[in-house]
Structure 1
Amino acid sequence: MWKDFLARPADYFALISELGFNTEDEAKTHGDIPVEIIEAVRKVELDITYFTANLRGYQQFAARFAIAQERVIIGDEMGLGKTVEAISVLAHLRAKGEYFFLVICPAAVVTNWVREVRSKSRLTPHRLHGPGRDDALSAWVRRGGVGVTTFESLRWLEGECDLDKVPLGCVIVDEAHYIKNPAAQRTTRTLAILERTRRSILMTGTPMENRLDEFRTLVHYVRPDLNTFGAGMSARKFRRQVAPVYLRRNQEDVLRELPELVEVDEVLPLSVHDADRYRQAAIDSSFMGLRQAAMLEGSRSMKMQRLLEIVQEAEQDGRKVIVFSHFLAVLEEVETLIPGKTFGILSGRVSPVDRQRMVDDFTKAKGGGVLISQIIAGGVGLNIQAASVIIICEPQIKPTTEWQAIARARRMGQLNSVQVHRLISEEGVDQRITQLLAEKAHLFEAFARDSDIAQHAPEAYDVSEADLARDVVAAERERLLSKPTSPVRSDEGEELPVA
């Protein structure tokens, strides 16, 4: 029994909640939804005939909200179970006579959707992406179920299937911020499908990461009749306007058993070898070179030495580790130096199926183990509760990149406290990035959790990498070389003239 609990803790916590032993705060469960909508939601009886998992109270509320309001945005923070909430809606609709459902998502999460539909419901998933998609499409059209496709595969789907003849009961758009740009082809194709369908759920853990106008655009996709574009609209009025379609809860509000998050900034000096490489990057005006310099001297790097110590300590405690970096060169160095069992490198070059296989192998491995991952590739669409120690090799340009990566391990079902170790050089680019982003991170946190300052969104956390690169390189060249700067190169090699 205990082994089963350890294998499926999220399911057990949901069952405990259903039995009333883990009472949730109703006010926080309802987010910012006004009383009249809450009453309408409470009248919905969720039919679980085709649903095989357990739902916590706040998840039941989200499912009933989607059913009652028909076209909604679920913005629950990552780790709260938006996927299972959406699947329970599809199962309810199947019990009410609907047969066809479509999930549109990034390629990285197709495998996860197929697995979750199969494990959490009696619905049949069909992978409408990659090898075998033609046969899967035929089976979906004949028998119904949940078709899972990608934004990129929509063009193929349009060419192979007349969706006007498929009575879609509900369309789910996962990572809905992918369609924030109305002019993009994937947006126009997605909207063409949404317009055919009475019910839709847009899912995104950080819908307000970018400018407020982009969030308004998402609202317009599901309810174009809502007026959210008034000049100088206050945050309070904005919340009232979007209440019929938008639901967001945060982890600490509804997950009382969520383990402790221990964050440690490991501030380290540059070794002599690190400093030499760092100075050369400054001479070359390479922003990316500056960011990597403290990790590329192997065991002569102070950051790398500390990373290996953390991994050794975690192994002795039986904890599993994720190492995140933006840079493949850094991760390749890490893979070479870690003496124990490693999994990865999980990068953008790895197919979604192989990414999931890496995570599965990492999860099943006994004892310790280290998953090595690019922070963008591993920070989206994967559940990595097996790990309880996270090492981030350098400060990230966007605060949300780091938050998303941490949330992959610290989420519903995690049983251990989660340790986050940030490797930060005591001088140079790491310190300057940290300082420049500190205020933006604070304002974003406030905006995401307290919409009273929503009106500040456009300026509060819009981070321009080009501007940041110019400022940092200019400052470091001045500090180290005391001469005018030459053009700065972006990650793609494009010259960014120094102002």
Structure 2
Amino acid sequence: MASEDVSGRLVTMRVTELKKVAKGLRLAKLEQAGITTVADVLANSHEQLMQIPGVGAQTVDEVKAAAALVAERSRVDARTRFDPVRRDPRQTRILAHLQAERAATEAVGELREAVHRFRERAMPYFAAADRAGSRLAMFFSRRKRRVETLARLDLLEAVNAEHETHALERDLATALDRARPERWNSDELWRDYERQAASVNTQFAKITGADAEDAERAEDFVGEDLRQAIETLPFDRSLLRTDLRFYQLFGAKYVIYQKRAIIGDEMGLGKTIQALAVAAHLAAKGQRRCLVICPASVVPNWLNEIRKHTKLEAFGLHGPGREEEARKWLRRGGVAVTTFNTIDRLESLPQRAKIALLVVDEAHYIKNPNAKRSMAVGAAIGRSKRALLLSGTPMENRVQEFKSLIGHLRPDLAEQVGQGDEVVGAEDFRRTVAPVYLRRNQEDVLTELPEKIEVEEWVQFNGSDEDEYREQVRRRNLMGMRRASSAMPGSAKLERLAELVDDAGAEGQKVIVFSYFLDVLKAVGERIGDVAIGPITGKVAAAKRQAMVDEFARREGPAVILAQIEAGGVGLNIQAASMVVLAEPQWKPSIEQQAVARAHRMGQTRRVQVHRLLAKDGVDDRIREVQEHKELLFEHYARRSDAKSTGAMATATAVATLDDDSIPLEQRIIAAERSRLGIDRR
């Protein structure tokens, strides 16, 4: 199916497209000779192309190489992406065969013990059954042998008549039926796909070879010797319930081999599963204590993931009963989960207790080496045989923060990392820190992930919006300015948000709405009514947050989950949503990225739409400029004030203020808005 799509694309792709991947190509002579498409270039050999007058060997080599590159990119782009909205019949057939294979594999595991027991009971009589089935053998057997054979045949029939044998026959018949692709109807297949898309996509990627190709491309920055050592490392899967993607297996082996490492994969690639794979491997080898340190809000998610993906026992060392749970964990082994604020208060965790693997989730929480929790985690790292830090926040451009994280694991390597906050080239940086830092991006390793469409939804202040905004600017209240620019009651933003929710419901989509402000979430909830779930806030207990997410996933029809961006934007998996609405821009783009990644992550089956609600001519403009690293130089304000010399002077002073890095950013933004609105000229 994909190869047909690629062929069709290359047949219609003009040969001039090759200039996009190899500048300076000379194509005129080829086009004159009738080589007008990329498919034409690929269809003709080097020798055939060189026979064209005016075309030399170098041109042919360059053109063929460019065509091969375009074809490879087209092949990757054309890989099958299962679409539960379109339900292409060809994709349905593929899902049927994948379902049949999974059913057969599951049956082998479930029935292996029962088959083994039947074999042990019946094996002594199989030879007699063979003899009884041969008239010639029975004719030439002595009477005593015939009697003995018939007696054993009776015993075999008795085994066949046993209740357990009949049960096995029924189970085998059921298994054989479930292993027939035609047994599954379209609705069953697509419902199943939406429930477990991550595992189905993993299965399909391994069958087609795409998984290995993606992993190889993503890890090409790891030195050949190190890569070979990691790839050939034995790995014990016996305590895992989940099949790993190749890049996840490489990540797990990387941690096992390096002993102290950071996995900085982009959000949504399964860092948790990789950490649990390491824990399962070590436990299978007799090293059974794994400790996870994470924010309190994601403790339930970790406990769920442990039970879902491994056969290891899970212990929550947080809240009442944590000391008893800690003692059980120390005695029995397994995976214990605690929080940054609890790790140094666990009385049942003695200093001498050895930990096979320490996992620190959301590791940017310990970027300040002088903070109390950083020191507590650092002490735990020192007591651990292996340590793994997880963080989905890209670190290439934040050298000092990365250096402090790497210092927890490899102080010697931290000294080799650059000084200051200078921007470091991503490729050189990754090669330099490869002994401790592994990062893969979604576009490299999850080629089947549905696309993400990001839209800026600019709205104009209405009358009440603008009056409130001006008042907050007059008060120099930056938080008030941001709140007044968000989806407050009666605002243009709130009306646009309600329209998006209505449209999503009509299309069968579920929605996540993120805001920094509680009163904005309250206003949204009141405006959209019964479809709202939440809000998830910092004060909502972790278990209740997960319950809200579960309810959101189960609910049939329209549903909207409301979340404070710093509470719901971290650690939760909300793949049931295919629309994300950000009610206002955040200072750090990484906060928005983490929020979007709650939906656009491994296991998502639908295209994800991201809508950023932005109020024109206000603080949202300024924050977007900060996000894009633009200078706060607003020359157009001066042009607006040319009519009045006093206004021009005031504006010029404001512009100079905006360019003064010694003045806090928040004050400069307030000054910019006061200047734009003419407040300081009155």
Question: Would the TM-score normalized by the shorter structure come out above 0.5?
Answer: yes
Q: Answer yes or no: is the 8 Å Cα contact 1:66–1:201 preserved in 2.
A: yes
Identify the residue that residue 451 of structure 2 maps to in structure 1.
Answer: 260
Among 371, 377, 402, the residue aligned to 2:561:
371
Measure, in 1, the Cα distance between the counterparts of 2:466 and 2:589: 26
Deviation, structure 1 residue 230: 5.9
Counterpart amino acid of residue 135 in structure 1? E
Residue 296 to residue 6, structure 1, CA distance change in 2 (3 Å): closer
Measure, in 1, the Cα distance between the counterparts of 2:376 and 2:484: 43
Identify the residue that residue 205 of structure 2 maps to in structure 1.
Answer: 17
Among 269, 272, 275, the residue aligned to 1:83:
272
2:247 is the alignment partner of 1:50: no
Q: Secondary structure at the match of 1:353?
A: helix
Q: Answer yes or no: is the 8 Å Cα contact 1:101–1:171 preserved in 2.
A: yes
Counterpart amino acid of residue 289 in structure 2? F
Q: Alpha-carbon deviations, 1:45-97, whole Å to 9, x = none?
A: 21101011011111111011111111111111110000001101111111111
Which range is displaced more, 224-233 or 139-148? 224-233
Measure, in 2, the Cα distance between the counterparts of 1:467 and 1:359: 38
Larger radius of gyration: 2
2:280 is the alignment partner of 1:280: no
Matching of residues 159-308 of structure 1 within 5 Å: 159-164=347-352, 166-206=353-393, 208=395, 211-226=398-413, 227-229=415-417, 235=425, 238-295=429-486, 297-298=488-489, 300-308=490-498
Q: Secondary structure at the match of 2:450?
A: coil
Identify the residue that residue 468 of structure 1 maps to in structure 2.
Answer: 665
Among 314, 326, 329, the residue aligned to 2:504:
314
Identify the residue that residue 446 of structure 1 maps to in structure 2.
Answer: none
Counterpart amino acid of residue 223 in structure 2? P
Counterpart amino acid of residue 195 in structure 1? G
Residue 355 to residue 465, structure 1, CA distance change in 2 (3 Å): farther
Deviation, structure 1 residue 439: 2.8
Among 580, 584, 601, the residue aligned to 1:390:
580
2:315 is the alignment partner of 1:126: yes
Q: Answer yes or no: is the 8 Å Cα contact 1:177–1:207 preserved in 2.
A: no
2:615 is the alignment partner of 1:425: yes
Q: Answer yes or no: is the 8 Å Cα contact 2:457–2:612 preserved in 1.
A: yes
Deviation, structure 1 residue 302: 1.1
Measure, in 2, the Cα distance between the counterparts of 1:477 and 1:81: 46
2:670 is the alignment partner of 1:479: no
Identify the residue that residue 39 of structure 2 maps to in structure 1.
Answer: none
Matching of residues 342-353 of structure 1 within 5 Å: 342-353=532-543
Q: Alpha-carbon deviations, 1:164-221, whole Å to 9, x = none?
A: 1x33211111111111111111111111111122211111111528731221121122
Identify the residue that residue 454 of structure 1 maps to in structure 2.
Answer: none
Q: Answer yes or no: is the 8 Å Cα contact 2:515–2:583 preserved in 1.
A: yes
Measure, in 2, the Cα distance between the counterparts of 1:371 and 1:209: 33
Measure, in 1, the Cα distance between the counterparts of 2:498 and 2:662: 30
Residue 239 to residue 391, structure 1, CA distance change in 2 (3 Å): closer
Deviation, structure 1 residue 405: 0.6
2:514 is the alignment partner of 1:324: yes
Deviation, structure 1 residue 149: 0.6
Measure, in 1, the Cα distance between the counterparts of 2:281 and 2:405: 25
Q: Answer yes or no: is the 8 Å Cα contact 1:328–1:374 preserved in 2.
A: yes
2:249 is the alignment partner of 1:60: yes
Q: Secondary structure at the match of 2:578?
A: strand
2:307 is the alignment partner of 1:110: no
Deviation, structure 1 residue 231: 6.2
Residue 240 to residue 418, structure 1, CA distance change in 2 (3 Å): closer
2:228 is the alignment partner of 1:39: yes
Q: Secondary structure at the match of 1:324?
A: strand
Deviation, structure 1 residue 11: 1.7
Q: Answer yes or no: is the 8 Å Cα contact 2:464–2:491 preserved in 1.
A: yes
Q: Answer yes or no: is the 8 Å Cα contact 2:485–2:618 preserved in 1.
A: no
Residue 223 to residue 31, structure 1, CA distance change in 2 (3 Å): farther
Unaligned runs of 5+ in 1: 442-463, 486-499
Deviation, structure 1 residue 5: 2.3
Q: Answer yes or no: is the 8 Å Cα contact 2:488–2:520 preserved in 1.
A: no
Q: Alpha-carbon deviations, 1:110-147, whole Å to 9, x = none?
A: 11111111110110010011122122112112211111
Measure, in 1, the Cα distance between the counterparts of 2:627 and 2:311: 46
What percentage of aligned pairs have identical amino acids? 45
**Which structure has more strand as a fraction of its residues?**
1
Q: Answer yes or no: is the 8 Å Cα contact 1:397–1:465 preserved in 2.
A: no
Q: Answer yes or no: is the 8 Å Cα contact 1:324–1:392 preserved in 2.
A: yes
Deviation, structure 1 residue 256: 0.5
Q: Secondary structure at the match of 1:109?
A: helix
Q: Secondary structure at the match of 1:274?
A: helix
Measure, in 1, the Cα distance between the counterparts of 2:612 and 2:552: 22
Q: Secondary structure at the match of 1:225?
A: helix
**Which structure has more helix as a fraction of its residues?**
2
Measure, in 2, the Cα distance between the counterparts of 1:409 and 1:19: 26
Residue 363 to residue 336, structure 1, CA distance change in 2 (3 Å): same
Residue 394 to residue 179, structure 1, CA distance change in 2 (3 Å): same
Deviation, structure 1 residue 392: 0.9
Measure, in 1, the Cα distance between the counterparts of 2:609 and 2:589: 18
Measure, in 2, the Cα distance between the counterparts of 1:238 and 1:421: 33
Q: Secondary structure at the match of 2:326?
A: helix
Counterpart amino acid of residue 594 in structure 2? Q
**How many pairs does the alignment contain?**
460
Q: Answer yes or no: is the 8 Å Cα contact 1:323–1:390 preserved in 2.
A: yes
Among 435, 439, 449, the residue aligned to 2:625:
435
Identify the residue that residue 601 of structure 2 maps to in structure 1.
Answer: 411
Deviation, structure 1 residue 229: 4.3
Q: Answer yes or no: is the 8 Å Cα contact 2:485–2:584 preserved in 1.
A: no
RMSD between aligned residues? 2.2
Counterpart amino acid of residue 94 in structure 1? A
2:337 is the alignment partner of 1:337: no
Q: Answer yes or no: is the 8 Å Cα contact 1:262–1:417 preserved in 2.
A: yes
Counterpart amino acid of residue 98 in structure 1? Q
Residue 357 to residue 271, structure 1, CA distance change in 2 (3 Å): same
Identify the residue that residue 591 of structure 2 maps to in structure 1.
Answer: 401
Measure, in 2, the Cα distance between the counterparts of 1:359 and 1:404: 16
Identify the residue that residue 642 of structure 2 maps to in structure 1.
Answer: none
Q: Answer yes or no: is the 8 Å Cα contact 1:325–1:393 preserved in 2.
A: yes
Measure, in 1, the Cα distance between the counterparts of 2:615 and 2:596: 21
Q: Secondary structure at the match of 1:387?
A: coil
Q: Answer yes or no: is the 8 Å Cα contact 2:399–2:417 preserved in 1.
A: no
Identify the residue that residue 332 of structure 2 maps to in structure 1.
Answer: 143
Measure, in 1, the Cα distance between the counterparts of 2:205 and 2:668: 50
